[in-house]
Homo-oligomer: A and B are copies of this chain.
Amino acid sequence: MKTAVLHIGIGNVGRELLEQVTTYGSDLVYHGLFDVAGGLFAADGLTSSQLHAFPENADKAVAALDCVDQMTDPFILVDTTAINLTLPVMKAALQRGGAVTMSNKKPLTGSQADWDELHALGGNRLFYETSVGAGLPVISTLKSLLATGDEIVEIQGCFSGTLGYIFSELETGTSFSAAVTQAKALGFTEPDPRDDLSGMDVARKVLILSRVLGKKLEINDVAVEKLYSDALADLAPEDFIKQVSTLDSEYAQKATDAKQAGNVLRYVATVSPTEHSVRLMAVPATSDIGGLHGPDNIIVIKTKRYLDNPLIVKGPGAGVPVTAAGVFADCLAAELVLKGEHAL
């Protein structure tokens, strides 16, 4: 039996996912493909040439929500956009018995009410492995631990490759402003580096992890230490880059103090029953978090059963091929749930 795919969002991750699924996903058949340009839909599946001509052949009159309403077979709605507008489409798909997979974090980091509604509608048919750590097995591992009755004592991790790179550079004596400028030149930062340095991207991951653990909270409940001063907050982007060097002496001092104590600086996310925060910490250089280099992500999970020796997952937490593969893996898991296999 084939499972139909409706896919919204043909950016870098979306296009790579389309490639991966059409190459390796033999039981997944694209019925719909949608982007800002419009959509394509065929009740009996789109052909390879139709898919590859997208978005040039997109029909402005074809909308994802209408197509969801027409689905009668088992289907998966995939969201690889980065916008809020897909939330109603997701809800409609789940209501119709479909599964939903996504690399889009927006629908997960809105209100607690939206999270609760998605999960109430979706149950086991809702997948978002790539929302934290891209393709690394983070969400599935946490859900497994919780489902088997384990209790989370503390989760700590680094979930920003950009900030990982910057603080690795600081260890080698590079100034903060030089590290930020290098990261920007390498394409590691958003166009305005403050979008990374604000810590909000990491805070959204803390929000998702906290909600997976069953906490009820909003993004403003996450304690976030931003990595630039209030004085730099209101500058135009080009002025920020010029004045970021005013932070150099402060960060150089912090790095020196850390080093003298055998520590290194890391921008650490913490989620525990009593805490949900992101902050700059001095951690032992020989610890798992301290040993992280460059753009890798890490999650260190301490539970009732993994207490003295935590469960650790580490590796690249961003990147187009691994993010697409993570969404693809979610689609395969969704396919299993939708199909069932009981054949007595």
Q: Nearest Cβ distance between residue A282 and chain B, in whole angstroms? A: 19
Q: Are B342 and A339 interface neighbours, CB within 8 A? A: yes
The CA-CA distance from A325 to B142 in the complex, in Å, is 12
A100-139 interface (Cβ within 8 A of B): 123-125, 135-137
Contacts of A97 in B (CB 8 A): 342-344
Q: A124 is contacted by which of B137, B144, B295, B341 (Cβ under 8 Å)?
A: B341
Question: Contacts A147-B332, A150-B325, A315-B312 hold; do A291 and B291 have CB atoms under 8 A apart?
Answer: yes
The CA-CA distance from A342 to B338 in the complex, in Å, is 5
A2 within 8 A of B: no
**Interface hub of A137, A296, A343 (most chain B Cβ within 10 A):** A137
Q: Are A149 and B309 interface neighbours, CB within 8 A? A: no
The CA-CA distance from A144 to B149 in the complex, in Å, is 24
CB closest chain-B residue, reference A145: B325
CB closest chain-B residue, reference A150: B325
Contacts of A30 in B (CB 8 A): none
A321 within 8 A of B: yes
A84 within 8 A of B: no
Question: Contacts A310-B315, A322-B305 hold; do A342 and B344 have CB atoms under 8 A apart?
Answer: no
The CA-CA distance from A342 to B321 in the complex, in Å, is 30
Chain copies in the assembled complex? 2
Q: Are B341 and A337 interface neighbours, CB within 8 A? A: yes
CB closest chain-B residue, reference A125: B341
Contacts of A149 in B (CB 8 A): 20, 23-24, 325, 328
Q: Are A137 and B148 interface neighbours, CB within 8 A? A: no
Q: Are B24 and A147 interface neighbours, CB within 8 A? A: yes
**Interface hub of A148, A310, A340 (most chain B Cβ within 10 A):** A148
Q: Are B338 and A341 interface neighbours, CB within 8 A? A: yes
Q: A325 is contacted by which of B72, B296, B305, B340 (Cβ under 8 Å)?
A: B305
A183 within 8 A of B: no
A96 within 8 A of B: yes
Q: Mark A66-85, 1 if CB is under 8 A from B, else 0.
A: 00000011100000000000
Q: Are A312 and B314 interface neighbours, CB within 8 A? A: yes
Q: Are B124 and A336 interface neighbours, CB within 8 A? A: yes
The CA-CA distance from A291 to B73 in the complex, in Å, is 50
A306 within 8 A of B: yes
Q: Are B316 and A306 interface neighbours, CB within 8 A? A: yes
A227-241 interface (Cβ within 8 A of B): none
Which 7 pairs from chain A and chain B are nearest by CB?
A340-B340, A24-B149, A311-B315, A144-B329, A312-B314, A148-B328, A148-B325
Please name 11 pairs of A and B residues whose Cβ atoms are closer than 8 Å in the assembled complex, sorted by A: A24-B149, A135-B306, A140-B140, A145-B325, A148-B328, A150-B325, A306-B322, A311-B315, A336-B337, A337-B341, A339-B340
